[in-house]
Amino acid sequence: MPERGWRLLGRILTRLRPAEGWATVFALLLAILVMVWVVEDARWLRQTPSLYASAILALLAGMTSARLVQRGWLAAALLAGSGLTVGIITIARAWPPLLLIIANLRYLALILTRPEQPPPEIVLLPPWMFDHLRTFFGVLQAWGQGLASGQTVSAPQIFSLALLLILWAAAAWAGWATLRRHRALLALTPAGFVLAANSYFASLQVLWLAAFMMALVMLAVRLRQYRLETNWKANAVDYSREFRLELYLSGLFVAATVAGVMVLIPNVRLSAISSAFWDVFSHPYNVLEARIERFLPELDRTPRSPVDQGVSAGGGLPRAHLIGDPPELSQRLAMTVSTNDPDPVASGVTANYRWRGVTFSTYNGQGWENPADATIERYAPGEAWLTQSWQGRRSLRQVFEITANRPFWLYGVGEPIAADRPFQAHLRAPSDAIGFEAEARDYTIISEMPDVTESDLRSVPPATDNALTPYLALPDSIPNRVLALAADVAAEAETPYDQAKAIESYLRTYPYDLDVPQPPADVDIADYFLFDLQRGYCDYYATSMVVMARSLGLPARLAVGYAAGEYDEQRQRFTVVEADAHSWPELYFADYGWIPFEPTAAQPVYVRQPVGTKTTVGVSDSVELANQLAQLRRQAWLLYGSWRWALLLALLLVLMLIVSAIWRDWQLRRMAANPWQLAYLRLERWGDRLDVVPAPWLTPREYARRWRAHLDRETRSPDIARTAADDIAQLSKALERRAYGPASAQPNDAAAKPLWRRLRSKLWRLRWKKRFRKRAKGKD
């Protein structure tokens, strides 16, 4: 950009610059944009208008009112009225075209500036705008009448308006409180509450929370600097503006450190505090949730399973959200999965695919839970958590892309062994996993899935390991008729596997039905399904099979995750929707580990036909698995390794240096009256670097002599030093003629820039040679 362009840009920025500085505006804008992005990413409603423009407009309105409106109550009233107006027009989609707005503003300006002239013809608003507004107010009226009469009326526009007004209030308050109160935490507290609420009800990626905290720290540092300078000026205290850059860089460093710590440190989960909180507030929350659902029934929030929320000890049915068959479940994409099976459809292995997330061991008659004393072990990318020697297994590589809800558990076929990112294994015992925790939306998993025949499983004798006792436990409340039914169904089976198959086949005769009521609170679920309801969904089938198997001495547990979904042959991946949420039983067979079964009538049974080479060695000794784990570690290092953070930090430091250089040079441009003075100010800056410190009492010619004396001592590069001293002398003489010489002796301003570029290159070379000499002396 030419010199004139830089000066024009500088004048414009100076004219528009608030007293608190552009850094304040940037930090505010970053925080508000993060808030809006998080809310929009939650997808509370389909087809909601974009909220970015409204939030930015609210921020500007808040900042403007802080400057122009002295009374706080009046500013609040104006902001509330403007927010409601903008919200209604936005939700009703009644914004006029931009050209129409410009034309009417021009009409208003002509009336105000030239009242003596006849006004031009006004440009009328198009009729469709009023039609949209009438439609919106009709929806609002119907919604209000429905609430008054106790009915539930679907009106997504109302929730969209409420959401927009919340964001408007948070953004407007941030702008007003920043410029009026100059307190960063006070200004961004409402926006922080929006992020916190959204993280609970929907999702919040830690990177965006880190970005918000970074904006908060930057804003706090900038406002602190503003308050200090204001106080110094009021008390006539002299200070150097050089401290600003150091303060900014320190604030940026602190903000980057806070953001990095938030990303890198593990999540802390206070289960005891959480449980105590919900013991007190669960009832009020349920009442509030019921009222909100009555007021706003159209919220596009997929019913959640406790498993998806990271609850490993829920005490209920993990897939109870499927009851009633909500239509949105079949429309909401949960995940996509691709595997290294070349053609899973042709080989028939899709029937064996279940994407398992978590397992449950304890049945209490009304649901499932896990022991409270489970341990948590951390594992690095590519590190296998399991070393148990199980036969009849083959390794499978899966790539997951999670899209629904907030991910908590890693999913995988069979027994997940390792992932391409760090994870935490929740363990009931050293080789008995509840699940693997990692809030990741895309990851690669290596699993060991069963690859055995029925004859292999029939050869397994009954289990005698005392470690399996928890998987044989049943509550005393189970009716005897459930136990009798299990014994009767498996009466003719000769082996544990045949007993399991008999139970599976029997349960598959019950019709699958999602239109069933919730189980009564005082009855056993298995008994309720087997004898009273006699129809149901996956939780009923799986629970009943586990109970019946345990009654026969077969160790069993409940597995929860997703069914295979639909296979897209063109993209070679599985598409899994929320309606595919599933639970199934797993039974333990010595030497073969946990083997899944499928009693649910709506799902295909497992195919006990090996499709690969059976693994007869332990997980840690499998050559094929070892190769896949090594590949996984290499992939994890490239995609998620710590070097990325080092590179990001390096880039951030480089950016800070560039910003620092630009800022310092821009300050010099503002101070310089002509190009020669600008070059001289730059020379003084270089003097600080090369130990030729400038002094306010030195004339340019005296300072040039000080430079020559310093450069004459340069023995390693005498030619560079001599020519640099000549250039400095030429610069000092030109500056003196520019300041004191007659018009005929004025130097050519265009010659200042090439002279400085030539001199700067020499100074750079001298600086690097000086550093190399210092390092060489240090080594000696």
In percent, the amount of the chain with pLDDT more than 90 equals 19
Predicted confidence (pLDDT) at residue 337 exceeds the cutoff of 90 = yes
Write down the pTM of the prediction: 0.55
pLDDT digit string (tens) for 312-327? 445 567 666 666 555 5
Q: How many CB atoms lie within 10 A of CB 313?
A: 16
Q: What is the mean pLDDT of residues 420-442?
A: 86
pLDDT digit string (tens) for 458-508? 999 998 888 899 999 999 989 999 999 999 999 999 999 999 999 999 999
Q: What is the mean pLDDT of residues 43-49?
A: 60
Q: What is the mean pLDDT of residues 97-103?
A: 71
712 alpha-carbon distance from chain centroid? 59
Strand-pairing partners, residue 229, are none
Q: What is the mean pLDDT of residues 757-768?
A: 85
Q: What is the mean pLDDT of residues 623-641?
A: 65
Task: Name the band, by pLDDT with cuts 50, 70 and 90, for residue 300.
Answer: very low
Q: How far apart are CA 355 and CA 353, in angstroms?
A: 7
Strands 333-339 and 393-402: antiparallel
In this predicted structure, what is the pLDDT of residue 596? 95
User: Can you give the residue ranges of every domain in the chain?
Assistant: 22-205, 302-319+332-640, 672-779
In this predicted structure, what is the pLDDT of residue 699? 86
**From 88-92, 352-356, 728-732, the region with the lowest mean pLDDT:** 88-92
In this predicted structure, what is the pLDDT of residue 421? 80
Task: Name the band, by pLDDT with cuts 50, 70 and 90, for residue 217.
Answer: confident
Burial 663-679 (b: 16+ CB within 10 A, else e): eeeeebbeebeebbbbb
In this predicted structure, what is the pLDDT of residue 262? 57
- Residue written as tokens 């310092």? 664
pLDDT digit string (tens) for 698-731? 888 888 888 888 888 765 677 888 888 888 888 8
Cβ atoms of 447 and 416 within 8 Å: the answer is: yes
In this predicted structure, what is the pLDDT of residue 557? 95
The CATH class for the domain spanning 302-319+332-640 reads: alpha beta
Q: How far apart are CA 52 and CA 259, in angstroms?
A: 23
Average pLDDT of the chain to the nearest whole number: 79
In this predicted structure, what is the pLDDT of residue 323? 65
3-state secondary structure 342-367: CCHHHHCHHHHCEEEEEEECEECCCC
User: What separation in angstroms does the CA of 440 have from each of 44, 51, 414, 427, 559?
Assistant: 21, 27, 19, 20, 21
In this predicted structure, what is the pLDDT of residue 243? 64
In this predicted structure, what is the pLDDT of residue 459? 92
Predicted confidence (pLDDT) at residue 310 exceeds the cutoff of 50 = no
- Residue written as tokens 């408007």? 168
**From 59-68, 133-142, 357-366, the region with the lowest mean pLDDT:** 133-142
Task: Name the band, by pLDDT with cuts 50, 70 and 90, for residue 342.
Answer: confident
In this predicted structure, what is the pLDDT of residue 511? 94
Predicted confidence (pLDDT) at residue 164 exceeds the cutoff of 50 = yes
Cβ atoms of 186 and 171 within 8 Å: the answer is: no
pLDDT digit string (tens) for 402-413? 886 656 789 999
Q: How far apart are the first and last CA of the chain?
A: 47
Predicted confidence (pLDDT) at residue 535 exceeds the cutoff of 90 = yes
Q: What is the mean pLDDT of residues 228-249?
A: 72
Q: How far apart are CA 562 and CA 559, in angstroms?
A: 10
More confident residue, 729 or 157: 729
Q: How far apart are CA 107 and CA 126, in angstroms?
A: 17
**From 168-177, 310-319, 693-702, 744-753, the region with the lowest mean pLDDT:** 310-319
In this predicted structure, what is the pLDDT of residue 548? 96
Cβ atoms of 375 and 427 within 8 Å: the answer is: yes
Predicted confidence (pLDDT) at residue 371 exceeds the cutoff of 80 = yes
Cβ atoms of 542 and 558 within 8 Å: the answer is: yes
Q: What is the mean pLDDT of residues 80-107?
A: 79
Written as one string, the DSSP assignment of 325-337 is --GGGGTSEEEEE
Q: How far apart are CA 83 and CA 62, in angstroms?
A: 11
Give whichever of 302-316, 317-331, 579-593, 639-653 has the largest mean pLDDT: 579-593
> What's the token pair of residue 557?
């547990």
> What's the token pair of residue 55?
């939030």
**From 16-25, 432-441, 604-613, the region with the lowest mean pLDDT:** 604-613
In this predicted structure, what is the pLDDT of residue 230? 83
